[in-house]
């Protein structure tokens, strides 16, 4: 089997070399040189595209566009992050934001908003910027419409209702070297 693969590769290389019109001694050099150039171009394109995706994903600018939602029938399907989708969870699919990012999605028509977690990739090629879970769409009041204009922004400071912000408490400093009588240092009972 390996010999067949090698012969096929050699055959393809020899066909390419014959079509270049170069003299036989330079043909091999030209073939390998063009492969190196192709690889360099592909790697350069990948590096630039990954830079733009990462750069755009960390931007704090709000996005405005169309949103759709997953059907209840999608419950149980695996998302790109590996989690299972449930229609009652507040999750979404976004093209560029990293998994686990909390996004605040606002419906400007009725002023309702919801905070969702990115667990999937998409939507692709439908003119939409975000796919919401069924529950998130219900919270935004867009179930009847199916598709709605929304404003998407990164939720920096998530406020949990009825939870007081944690304050640093000034705890007293304890000296564990002396007991209350000040006689000798405290030792664990197993060292006595």
Half-sphere exposure of 14 (CA within 13 A, CB side): 6
Provide the pLDDT for residue 131.
95
What percent of the residues of the chain are helix, what percent strand, and what percent coil, each to the nearest 5?
35, 20, 45
Q: Which of 1, 33, 6, 4 is nearest to 20 (CA)?
A: 33
pTM of the model: 0.56
CB 94 within 8 A of CB 130: yes
Token pair belonging to 180:
């209350």
pLDDT tens digit sequence for 90-141: 999 999 899 999 999 999 999 999 999 999 999 987 889 999 999 999 999 9
User: What 8-state DSSP symbol labels residue 51?
Assistant: H
């Amino acid at each position: 089997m390996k010999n067949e693969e090698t012969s096929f590769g050699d055959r393809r290389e020899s066909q390419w070399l014959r079509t270049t019109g170069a003299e036989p001694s330079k043909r091999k050099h030209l073939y390998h040189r063009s492969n190196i150039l192709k690889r360099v171009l592909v790697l350069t394109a990948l590096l630039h595209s990954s830079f733009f995706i990462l750069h755009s994903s960390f931007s704090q600018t709000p996005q405005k566009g169309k949103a759709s939602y997953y059907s209840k029938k999608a419950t149980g399907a695996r998302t790109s992050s590996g989690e299972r989708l449930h229609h009652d969870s507040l999750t979404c699919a976004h093209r560029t934001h990293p998994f686990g990012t909390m996004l605040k999605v606002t419906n400007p028509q009725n002023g309702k908003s919801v905070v969702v977690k990115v667990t999937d990739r998409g939507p692709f090629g439908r003119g939409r910027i975000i796919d919401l879970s069924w529950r998130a769409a219900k919270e935004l009041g867009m179930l009847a419409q199916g598709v709605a204009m929304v404003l998407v922004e990164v939720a920096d400071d998530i406020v949990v209702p009825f939870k007081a912000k944690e304050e640093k408490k000034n705890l007293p400093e304890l000296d564990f070297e002396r007991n209350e009588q000040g006689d000798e240092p405290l030792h664990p009972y197993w060292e006595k």
